[in-house]
């Protein structure tokens, strides 16, 4: 393929390449082609000449940056700018495959950074409804386990891995509990009475169930886990995810409701009650205060939303 061909012909070949070789979805292909068209329209004015395949081999890093700066100046998000850059890089992969053309200037570009995603906590009523919906008396110890796990995640802000790493013996909780988090760092956490009651009821229900009693005995001297599946194996993060997914669907809650969202809810609700940021950092086991500070933005956004709903002219 000659790189001296007019762009319109190269574009047609590229469109076919996306469809037949990359097997890209029609929607994504349209987005890529649209971004590429915007780029070549920019180049025509920027360079003051008609665009051919050879043009793409002569571009410098500043040319790519000028295009992205123009797009950013139009008020576009970092996500859209990343799409534009991905489309350009995809076109260059096509050119390299078809004609051997490369352009080192493109390698110097970095994708625009996306803004940090804010945690998405549940409201207090939704959190209460979720725990209540997990309480199904006819399910016996499994229902008690689900309620205990949800109460623990929300009431202490644990990561799901931290909760599932707890042993059966550690379930005999007092007013504090030491957990081991990321980087094998331990932290001591206060245990709320609601958490104590939920865990105690779960353990009592297990010990009253003849089949469940065998689960503890089957561990042959090893420390049995606090939470396990109905087959007697240790409960996994995947099982916890399936539990929250089932409950959120039943309540009509968004897909952002995951086990980790309960940790977000713990932090956001505490902050809303006036908790000290440093104290919250210790409770969550964050190595950096910056990670904890994300919740201040969540709390501010929730406050503004409440204000605007109450004051329509706000």
SS3 (DSSP) at 179: strand
136-142: long-range contacts, CB 8 A cutoff, minimum separation 24: 140/205, 140/209, 141/202, 141/205, 141/206, 141/208, 141/209, 141/212, 142/230
Which residues contact residue 223 at a Cβ distance below 8 angstroms, ignoring those fewer than 6 apart?
167, 168, 169
Residue 217: enclosing H or E segment and its boundaries? helix 210-217
Count of Cβ atoms closer than 10 Å to residue 72 Cβ: 15
SS3 (DSSP) at 253: coil
Active site positions, annotated: 159, 182, 260, 263, 286, 295
**Measured between alpha carbons, how far is 243 from 237 in angstroms, rounded to an integer?**
10
- In degrees rounded to 5, what are phi and psi of residue 167? -90, 165
């Amino acid at each position: 393929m000659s790189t001296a061909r007019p762009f319109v012909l190269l574009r047609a070949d590229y469109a076919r390449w996306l469809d037949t070789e990359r097997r890209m979805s029609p929607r994504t292909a349209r987005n890529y082609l649209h971004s590429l068209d915007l780029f070549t329209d920019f180049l025509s004015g920027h360079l003051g000449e008609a665009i051919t395949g050879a043009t793409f081999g002569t571009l410098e890093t500043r040319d790519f940056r000028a295009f992205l700066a123009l797009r950013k100046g139009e008020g576009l998000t970092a996500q859209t700018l990343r799409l534009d850059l991905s489309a350009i890089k995809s076109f260059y992969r096509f050119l390299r495959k078809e004609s051997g053309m490369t352009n080192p200037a493109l390698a110097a570009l970095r994708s625009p950074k996306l803004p940090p995603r804010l945690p998405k906590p549940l409201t207090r009523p939704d959190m209460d409804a979720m725990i209540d919906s997990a309480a199904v008396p006819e399910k016996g110890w499994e229902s008690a386990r689900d309620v205990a796990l949800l109460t623990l995640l929300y009431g202490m802000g644990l990561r799901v891995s931290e909760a599932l790493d707890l042993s059966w013996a550690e379930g005999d909780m007092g007013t504090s509990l030491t957990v081991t988090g990321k980087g094998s760092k331990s932290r001591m956490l206060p245990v709320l009475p609601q958490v104590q009651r939920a865990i105690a009821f779960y353990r009592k229900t297990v010990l009253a169930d003849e089949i469940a009693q065998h689960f503890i005995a089957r561990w042959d001297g090893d420390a049995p886990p606090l939470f396990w599946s109905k087959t007697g194996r240790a409960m996994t993060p995947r099982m916890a995810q399936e539990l929250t997914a089932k409950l959120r669907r039943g309540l009509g809650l968004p897909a952002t409701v995951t086990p980790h969202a309960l940790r977000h809810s713990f932090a956001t609700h505490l902050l809303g009650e006036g908790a000290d940021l440093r104290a919250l950092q210790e409770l969550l086991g964050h190595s950096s205060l910056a990670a904890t500070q994300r919740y201040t933005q969540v709390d501010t956004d929730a406050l503004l939303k409440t204000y605007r709903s109450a004051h329509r002219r706000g």
